[in-house]
Chain A
Amino acid sequence: MKVRVKFSKQGNMKFIGHLDVMRYFQKAIRRAGIDIAYTEGLSPHMIMSFASPLGVGLTSDAEYMDIELRTPVSSREAIDALNRVGVEGITVTGFYEIPEGKANKAMTLVAAADYLVRFRARYEPDKIDLPSAVEEFYAQDEILVWKRTKKSEKEVDIRPMIYEMRYVPDAVFLRLASGSAANLKPELVMDTMLGRYGIKPSPFAYEINRCELYADTGSEKLQHPAEHDSETEYEAGAERVLTPLGALGREIL
């Protein structure tokens, strides 16, 4: 049975890198007694893949990993078991059965992500009015930035990759393209915006929380085991339909 696990990564766990979170879950799954499936061959390893690696320093409410079970277990039991053997800061919040098939892998599906960006204490930009700066920035039709690739630097328009941007009390909410097709980092959006005012923020200025990861269910023919309705959001005028990765699975009873 293929399963998608949703977890949050908060507090001091932001200092634990992506590969170490993977190691953490390999051990946590053993401690929890969850009967996970292994790859074949001489050095078998757990069948486990992550939707989208989260950088060190960022927190998240919605990390996803896909695993495969040899013996099914109910969502409730699995969540309880994993949290019982877990550490402060990593909390499993969902455990869903997902359809078989490569096209349904979290890693392949990721199309967008929500972020909440706060300024760390003593790093708030004092020269600008943040709500209006955000509004003006998002109102533009085109936002050109210089992006450095391995070979050269080129100018790209990041505006199409910003699906939503608004000021919420003490923070900036961003919905950005994420995944293999198009990927935009929240730091780049913020740096670009502040750059318009001549502000060059320190790399420690932002406290970033990833709030959700989405698949685009508008353009692709995906199997939907769950009838998604309220979770689905439509972008006006676009074919894009963003569905949280967890909503593509079904609770195991």
Chain B
Amino acid sequence: MRKLALSDEILLSIEKPARYIGGEVNSVMKEKDEVEIRFAMCFPDVYEIGMSHLGIQILYDMFNRREDVWCERVYSPWVDLDKLMREKQIPLFALESQDPIREFDFLGITLQYEMCYTNVLQILDLSGIPLLAAERTQDCPIVIGGGPCAYNPEPLAVFFDLFYIGEGETVYDELFDLYKQCKGNGVSRKDFLRRAAQIPGIYVPSLYEVTYNEDGTIASFAPTEPDVPAVIEKQVQMDMTDAPYPDAPVVPFIKVTQDRVVLEIQRGCIRGCRFCQAGMIYRPLRERSLVCLKEHADKMLASTGHEEISLSSLSSSDYSELPGIVNYLIDRYQDEKINISLPSLRIDAFSLDVMSKVQDVRKSSLTFAPEAGSQRLRDVINKGLTEDVILQGADEAFHGGWNKVKLYFMLGLPTETEEDRKEIAHLAEKIAEKYYEIPKDQRNGKCQITVSTSFFVPKPFTPLQWASMFQPGDYLGFAKTVNHEIKEMLNQKSIRYNWHHADVTLLEGVFARGDRRIADVILEAYRLGALYDAWTEYWDYDRWLQAFENAGVDMDFYTMRERGLDEILPWDFIRVGVTKEFLKKEWQKAHEESVTPNCREKCSGCGAAAYRGGVCTMRRA
């Protein structure tokens, strides 16, 4: 029996002990003396969230295929265990071996959202690894950051030894081989990092220096040594069909958020919505072949026993073989009662037909993400979804028996006016009216329209990266306008409205576009007790305001300011394919309310064609 890091007494006194015992189906056990590299892969949030992440499953599988590497998992201990570990000085451990993280060669932390940053410090702290990379000694694990937030790594730069910019499939082998070589020859930590900086996509923050202008903007960003590259190239896995994919993902004992097989059908997106970071940084769109998807689906369902499979992509309807994979799954797995889940589908005749086959029409709801209420503002953000398309889709769906609709919008977009906000209510009303046009005896009771708004956060590498944000009071005012207008609608009883907290949005904004000076604020907030900021019950805005004050950092500098087009942005040193010139052109077009066609309609020269593949080299219709 595997010996656990935590005693029975501790495990029986905390919530969900299964979060910490490992031993799940398909988790990988190896002999630690038989491997050369021990890698702890971390998602800095609670187990149920971390275990739902596809990227980690891909890398876990890929690393463990190497005989010389044992990759294990670690997640944030929940607050109950966090407290006990500090009291009893129990070091953070990996789930598989239950060994302390401190003994590992690497600690890789995925950065999926900004509000996990204090959890990153928790992981380091509980592991007994100095929070600042500069204070780490030879025997500390090399701490690597990756994931979408690593596209602006600067707020976390001092906490990481290196960042891996881009998709994990490409250069980890090179990094591991280099590490083995260095470890064998007694190369110092610093020299290893210097050599690692030569690998494309690897950013070693300690080898770069930033200077600032008097107004607080960046004056220069440059390597401190001559042979260190000035520009970091994002890594892209161009051949998706032969890319590594796990045949046997780990199956948790407890119910996790994504409790199903996840089949990534494609990566990237052709749409070019101007607010969307994923749509830019994952360019170009690359599809996996139908043959490989069928094979992966079969293997994963057989090895996990999951009762559901979900197709994953940024916009599933754009996958050219969607009917092929969906029909295959329906035919092959209907008898075994496997559910098929199809998120991010555009509502049209095909998707309605498929959805009526795979789900209970009466219970399920239709989802539209118009993102902005008016056509004018949708043109600003390049969201190519028109009112006609939404109303027609809703109409078809209502005739097909659906009566629940979910609508997602953003508030606080650039150029947004009072009228744009009110249009959100009007659109919901028009959808409700469509429903009540159906004769009473043919419809299914009342309709239920749920409107949800979030507040827009400008993200690096998007055409809206220069935009200003608003004060918390303004954001609430925007939501109140929508709420008030909905109450004025004829069918207001059929419309429900949810909105998010405004203050957490501002902090996301600071982290998303922050520079190295933000690290002091994160450190200070952590010292003041901030943790699990993504969880409403632990979110404390006042504590963060205090942290800004203590650190002497002005939040408004990061949020309340439209950046100049000539300003050096903290993430400018990363090359993602999409060029800054293209983003500037798009920012300009946003203000002209002019739309840009999608990649299949016409190439707009974003720069991703430099990767010579995916949709960029496909013939257009």
Q: Hey, which bits of chain A sit against chain B, CB under 8 A?
A: 10-12, 15-17, 20, 23-24, 26-31, 38, 42-45, 56-57, 85-89, 120, 203-204
A26 contact set on B, CB distance < 8 A: 305, 307
Pairwise interchain contact A31-B305, C-beta atoms closer than 8 A: yes
* Whole-angstrom distance between the Cβ of B160 and the nearest chain A Cβ: 33
A85 contact set on B, CB distance < 8 A: 25, 305
Pairwise interchain contact A204-B305, C-beta atoms closer than 8 A: no
Partner of B2, one of A12, A28, A42: A12
- Interface 1/0s, chain B 432-458, versus A by CB < 8 A? 000000000000000000000000000
CA separation between A46 and B11, bound complex, in Å?
Answer: 31
Pairwise interchain contact A15-B305, C-beta atoms closer than 8 A: no
CA separation between A86 and B305, bound complex, in Å?
Answer: 11
Partner of B305, one of A30, A38, A89: A30
Residue tally, chain B, CB below 8 Å to A: 29
Chosen A-B contacts, 30 in total, with CB atoms closer than 8 Å, are A11-B2, A12-B2, A12-B23, A15-B11, A15-B12, A15-B17, A17-B18, A23-B255, A26-B305, A27-B25, A27-B251, A27-B307, A28-B305, A30-B336, A31-B25, A31-B302, A31-B303, A31-B304, A38-B337, A42-B360, A43-B360, A56-B12, A57-B12, A85-B305, A87-B24, A88-B2, A89-B23, A120-B8, A203-B12, A204-B12
Known: A28-B305, A56-B12, A204-B9. A12 touches B1 (CB 8 A): yes
* Whole-angstrom distance between the Cβ of A150 and the nearest chain B Cβ: 24
Q: Is B306 an interface residue (CB 8 A)?
A: yes
Known: A26-B307, A27-B304. A16 touches B24 (CB 8 A): no
Q: Is B541 an interface residue (CB 8 A)?
A: no
Known: A30-B307, A31-B305. A23 touches B337 (CB 8 A): no
CA separation between A16 and B305, bound complex, in Å?
Answer: 18
For A26, A44, A85, A203, the residue with the greatest tally of chain B CB atoms inside 10 Å of its CB is A85
Pairwise interchain contact A27-B18, C-beta atoms closer than 8 A: no
Additional pairs, 7, CB under 8 Å, beyond known A11-B2, A85-B305: A15-B11, A43-B360, A89-B1, A89-B23, A120-B8, A203-B12, A204-B13
CA separation between A218 and B1, bound complex, in Å?
Answer: 40
B304 contact set on A, CB distance < 8 A: 27, 31
CA separation between A27 and B255, bound complex, in Å?
Answer: 12
* Whole-angstrom distance between the Cβ of A163 and the nearest chain B Cβ: 28
* Whole-angstrom distance between the Cβ of B401 and the nearest chain A Cβ: 13
* Whole-angstrom distance between the Cβ of A95 and the nearest chain B Cβ: 18
Pairwise interchain contact A12-B21, C-beta atoms closer than 8 A: yes
A-contacting residues, B448-471, CB 8 Å: none
* Whole-angstrom distance between the Cβ of B335 and the nearest chain A Cβ: 9
CA separation between A9 and B23, bound complex, in Å?
Answer: 14
Pairwise interchain contact A29-B305, C-beta atoms closer than 8 A: yes
B254 contact set on A, CB distance < 8 A: 16-17, 20
Q: Is B4 an interface residue (CB 8 A)?
A: yes
CA separation between A86 and B24, bound complex, in Å?
Answer: 9
A-contacting residues, B277-310, CB 8 Å: 301-307
CB-nearest residue of chain B to A41: B360
CA separation between A250 and B121, bound complex, in Å?
Answer: 58
CA separation between A191 and B77, bound complex, in Å?
Answer: 33
* Whole-angstrom distance between the Cβ of A73 and the nearest chain B Cβ: 16
* Whole-angstrom distance between the Cβ of B358 and the nearest chain A Cβ: 12
Q: Hey, which bits of chain B sit against chain A, CB under 8 A?
A: 1-2, 4, 8-9, 11-13, 17-18, 21, 23-25, 251, 253-255, 301-307, 336-337, 360, 363
CB-nearest residue of chain A to B29: A88
Partner of B18, one of A10, A16, A38: A16
* Whole-angstrom distance between the Cβ of A32 and the nearest chain B Cβ: 8
CB-nearest residue of chain A to B339: A43
* Whole-angstrom distance between the Cβ of A120 and the nearest chain B Cβ: 7
CA separation between A109 and B12, bound complex, in Å?
Answer: 30
B2 contact set on A, CB distance < 8 A: 11-12, 88
CB-nearest residue of chain B to A26: B307
CB-nearest residue of chain B to A57: B12
* Whole-angstrom distance between the Cβ of A91 and the nearest chain B Cβ: 12
* Whole-angstrom distance between the Cβ of B356 and the nearest chain A Cβ: 12
CA separation between A24 and B13, bound complex, in Å?
Answer: 23
For A10, A31, A85, A204, the residue with the greatest tally of chain B CB atoms inside 10 Å of its CB is A31
B11 contact set on A, CB distance < 8 A: 15
B23 contact set on A, CB distance < 8 A: 12, 87-89
CB-nearest residue of chain A to B2: A12
B305 contact set on A, CB distance < 8 A: 26-31, 85
For B9, B11, B255, B305, the residue with the greatest tally of chain A CB atoms inside 10 Å of its CB is B305
Known: A12-B23, A20-B253. A56 touches B17 (CB 8 A): yes
* Whole-angstrom distance between the Cβ of A214 and the nearest chain B Cβ: 27
* Whole-angstrom distance between the Cβ of B146 and the nearest chain A Cβ: 30
* Whole-angstrom distance between the Cβ of B494 and the nearest chain A Cβ: 24
B8 contact set on A, CB distance < 8 A: 57, 120, 204
Pairwise interchain contact A15-B24, C-beta atoms closer than 8 A: no
CB-nearest residue of chain A to B7: A204
B18 contact set on A, CB distance < 8 A: 15-17, 20
Partner of B253, one of A16, A29, A30: A16
A28 contact set on B, CB distance < 8 A: 25, 305
* Whole-angstrom distance between the Cβ of B251 and the nearest chain A Cβ: 6
B13 contact set on A, CB distance < 8 A: 204
CA separation between A27 and B4, bound complex, in Å?
Answer: 25
CB-nearest residue of chain B to A88: B23
A27 contact set on B, CB distance < 8 A: 25, 251, 304-307
* Whole-angstrom distance between the Cβ of A79 and the nearest chain B Cβ: 17
CA separation between A171 and B575, bound complex, in Å?
Answer: 67
CB-nearest residue of chain A to B27: A87
B301 contact set on A, CB distance < 8 A: 30
CA separation between A121 and B18, bound complex, in Å?
Answer: 23
CA separation between A29 and B11, bound complex, in Å?
Answer: 28
CA separation between A12 and B9, bound complex, in Å?
Answer: 13
B21 contact set on A, CB distance < 8 A: 12, 15
Known: A27-B25, A27-B251, A31-B304. A12 touches B336 (CB 8 A): no
CA separation between A62 and B304, bound complex, in Å?
Answer: 25
CA separation between A31 and B304, bound complex, in Å?
Answer: 6
CA separation between A12 and B7, bound complex, in Å?
Answer: 11
B24 contact set on A, CB distance < 8 A: 87
* Whole-angstrom distance between the Cβ of A119 and the nearest chain B Cβ: 12
B4 contact set on A, CB distance < 8 A: 12
CA separation between A45 and B1, bound complex, in Å?
Answer: 33
B337 contact set on A, CB distance < 8 A: 38, 44-45
* Whole-angstrom distance between the Cβ of A68 and the nearest chain B Cβ: 14
